[in-house]
Each structure stands twice: as C-alpha cells, then as structure tokens.
Amino acid sequence: MIINIIVIPIFLLSLFVSLPFIFGEEGKDERGRRIVSSAYTYTFPIFPIGWLLLETYHRNYADLTFVDYRNILGLLIPLTFIVLGVVIFTLKRRV
C-alpha cells in the first residue's frame, strides 16, 4: 500500500522520540511521569475506537476482504505510536 510508504518513516521517527523518553532518565522523574501519563491518556482510545469504526464499517456498509481488514488494523498500531510520539514531543515543550 502507498500509505505504508508515508506512515512507516513517521512511525519510526515517533518511536525514536517516544521510547528514549519513556525508558530514559527524563521519563522517570516527576515531570516525565506526568508527560507519559498524559500521553497515554490521549493515545489509549485510538486503537479501540479505530477498531470499532472498522468493524462497524465492515458489518454495516461494505464487506472488507481479510487482506483489507488486516491492512487497516496494521495501520492502527503505527498511527497510535505516531500520536504518542507527537503528544510526548509537544508536552515536553509545553510542560
């Protein structure tokens, strides 16, 4: 899929932003724990809501093939990490 060419580099960039922060020293102090907690609060609903919307579309509007269903679910995971990286990046600047 063409969208994977766009999503995967952004996903990798967001991993390089979020994982060192979460597991590093900066994420272990009080400020870091607040940032990580807030980031998880914003990020958590993305996957379940996306899956619910996908399932609703599949059951009510159009039958998706297994490959399409799998590909869309496969995009939800990187999108969740992209949002996590963006939220951590912005909260680091703001807080």
pTM assigned to the model: 0.88
Each domain of the chain, given as residue ranges in start order, spans 2-94
Tokens 């060419």 -> residue: 5
- Cα distances (Å, whole numbers) of residue 83 to 57, 64, 70: 23, 26, 20
Q: Which residues, including other chains, have CB under 8 Å from residue 76's CB and lie 6 or more apart? A: 46, 47, 50, 51, 54
pLDDT for the residue 59: 93
Digit-by-digit pLDDT tens for the chain (95 residues) are 788 889 999 999 999 999 999 999 988 999 999 999 999 999 999 999 999 999 999 999 999 999 999 999 999 999 999 999 999 999 999 87
